[in-house]
Every structure is written in structure tokens, then in C-alpha cells.
Amino acid sequence: MAAPLVVSVSRSSTHSFSKEVVDAIVLLAGLGVEGDAHMGKTVQHRSRVAQNPHQPNLRQVHLIHAELFDELRQDGFQVEPGQMGENMTTRGIDLLGLPTGTKLHLGEQAVLELTGLRNPCVQIDRFQSGLMNAVLDRDENGNVIRKAGVMASVLTGGEVRKGDAIRTELPPEPFRPLERV
């Protein structure tokens, strides 16, 4: 397997479903992606703000593995980086298999901490009909498997670009699996 890397970066200043692919994004410690509608110390996702606008923003940065797009293409969907609302598309790293608290070192100095799994919402079916079911699965016990990426908080700011290497730093054991945030 090739070394883990960033294959695309995206942002949107509005609460649109898809985000524009750009050359670079700037991560701001404790806030998220500079210029992105989801940047902030407290929740910025509209559904979360409606529940409690004072809760911490555990969804500052959204990452999706490009391997999901490969899988979706085999199922007849056409999804490109940024189109599912992610800020960063990766390749060569099992994002969904990492534990909560994993640190991802990106580019020269940026560090993210994984906070949980993205829970896909109805907007995903508005983007492409049937896509919601395609990014949800079930394990052998019938538990839901969410495949639409992971969420993270920014620990150390910095610029991230396409082609940047990703280095993983696991948290101390015992590991806690990622859960919906």
C-alpha cells in the first residue's frame, strides 16, 4: 500500500452540501478550516446548533477516504472529492478503523485529532438518490457501519495541500472506537 496522503482539499463559506476543491486549506487551531462555514469553537452544523448552540465543535474538519469513492463508483455512483462535503480527501489510510483520539500529522505542521464518525443526513440522497444507503452498511451483528468519513478537531494549525503526507499517531490504549458525532 502506498504511503498515506492527502489527495484533495476543499472548503465552502456557505452551508452548501458540496465544497469547492482548492489548492490549499489553512487549518486554525481550535477552530477548523479558515473560510469554511463549519469553522468555530462551538458547533456550526445547523442541526447541531438547533439542538444546543453551545456544545463544542467536534466536527471542525471532515475527512473522507478516496477508497470510498472507488467503492461507490463500482456501485454506479459518481462522486468526486469535495462533493460529499469533506474538507479533506485521503488515500492509503483506514480512517474508519482508527480509534478516537488518533492524531493525524499533515503537511509541515498541522495536526488533527479524530473525534468521531460522520453521520450522513438526508442531504446525501438529495445529492444522488440512493447514496445514503450506499454509505451505510451493517456488520454481522446488525450494527450500523457509517462509511461517510470521520470528523476531527484542529490541534495545531497549518497549511494542507494536495499531495501532503499523513502520519498517524495512535492514542494511548485502551483504544475507543470512533462513534457518531
Which of 165, 176, 174, 18 lies closest to 87 in space, CA to CA?
A: 18
pLDDT of 46 higher than 90: no
Biggest alpha carbon–alpha carbon distance for the chain: 42
Number of helical (H) and strand (E) elements in the chain, helices listed first: 4, 13
- Averaged over 71-80, what is the pLDDT? 96
How confident is the model at residue 43, as a pLDDT?
82
> Where do the domains of the chain lie, and which CATH numbers do they carry?
5-169 (2.40.33.20)
DSSP secondary structure letter of residue 78: -
- Averaged over 7-29, what is the pLDDT? 96
ω into residue 174 within 30 of 0, thus cis?
A: yes
- Averaged over 112-124, what is the pLDDT? 92
Q: Which residues have a Cβ under 8 Å from the Cβ of 30 and sit 6 or more positions away? A: 41, 153, 154
- Residue written as cell 452498511? 137
Give the model confidence (pLDDT) of 159-170 as tens digits. Answer: 999 999 999 999
Q: How far apart are CA 80 and CA 39, in angstroms?
A: 22
> What are the C-alpha distances in Å from 97 to residues 53, 63, 116?
30, 13, 11
pLDDT of 1 higher than 70: no
Amino acid in the structure at residue 166: I
Q: Is 123 helix (H, G, I), strand (E, B) or coil?
A: helix
Cell of residue 67, nine digits: 477508497
- Residue written as cell 456550526? 44
Cell of residue 69, nine digits: 469513492
Return the exposure string of 93-122: e unless at least 16 CB atoms fall within 10 Å of the residue's CB, then b: bebbebebebbbbbbeebbbbbbbbbebee
Give the model confidence (pLDDT) of 86-106 as tens digits. Answer: 999 999 999 999 999 999 999
Chain mean pLDDT for the chain? 94
Residues linked to residue 88 through DSSP beta bridges, in sequence order: 9, 63
